[in-house]
Structure 1
Amino acid sequence: MRLAGSMATLLHDAVMNPAEVVKQRMQMYNSPHQSALSCIRAVWRTEGVGAFYRSYTTQLTLNIPFQSIHFITYEFMQEQINPHREYNPQSHILSGGLAGAVAAAATTPLDVCKTLLNTQENVALSLANVSGHLSGMANAFRTVYQISGVSGYFKGVQARVIYQIPSTAIAWSVYEFFKYFLTKHKMEKRTPF
């Protein structure tokens, strides 16, 4: 089961990392890209395929603690507010939202470094006297610290938490609903009339 989860994460991030690079470059202030396709072409032509995977190890490093904190917090909250583990939409929504918020806040420094690697933001690189392209998580951590100190690791933490709360609340409530529905349906099939 753990191997399957690990392989799913590796494949997911391999596919989604290039999409994240394009999304973040298009979201940059004064982005020169008018469409996703033009962004892909420009990055490919000027930086090569490696630019789409510059933050891949950072993304993997981000997902491991995020998912760990997320699941641990969800399980802890369920033990506190739903100890009998009954189907209770309110407890699933509350636990899921809080789990996403805690995991998002705790892993924001990794997300900030991933964003810097993906965007190669010129102003930030100039402030840190970085010429060429920034690569590697250690370099991203040093650069963020050099530019903004410890507070730089938590830029956007509120937005990230606000984004994750409904996302994880919905995911957990849907998961718990289908688990309940399928288990109940299976039990009804077994029960003779």
Structure 2
Amino acid sequence: MTLVLEEALPLIPRLRRHARLLCGDAARADDLLQDTLERAARKGALFHADGPGRPDALRGWLLTLMHRLYLNQRRDAREALHDSLDEDDTPLPLAPEPQQQVALRLDLERALAALPAASREILLLICVEELSYQDAAGVLDVPLGTVMSRLSRARDRLRTLMTDGAPARAPLRVVK
């Protein structure tokens, strides 16, 4: 178990980035990352991979743990609030950060937040985490064709949000 955590240390920045983009909130992302690492520590004996592909296999295993924990947290929150809305119809807002000065980045984050959760997840796994379609299908536990169709729809929707339907940019002020 300790070996898995030691090997996971270099992956923490990427895992945190993925959690941050998935949750849209720094505090919730840190909680998700901590829960993922705790579960990896407890379930480390279940991870079996040897050879040169071990780091990639570990990253995929940790992303799978994180994805399932994220889904569990969403389900629990929905049940706690007795929310009747479909989870894919409720975009998660991103918290603004002072260091984000570039308007395009702000528009991209807003567009990502406006995407349904399933679309956001597949874009993050394929485009940000650079997983193969097969690996992303394994993380999400869906067929390969589902990954390809979700990715295509997500890219189209993101493109629409970034061009025609993008939120109006607030004018930036130059601060000395």
Structure having the higher helix fraction is 1
**TM-score normalised by L of structure 1:** 0.27
Task: Decide which structure has the larger Cα Rg and report it.
Answer: 1
Q: TM-score, normalised by structure 2?
A: 0.29
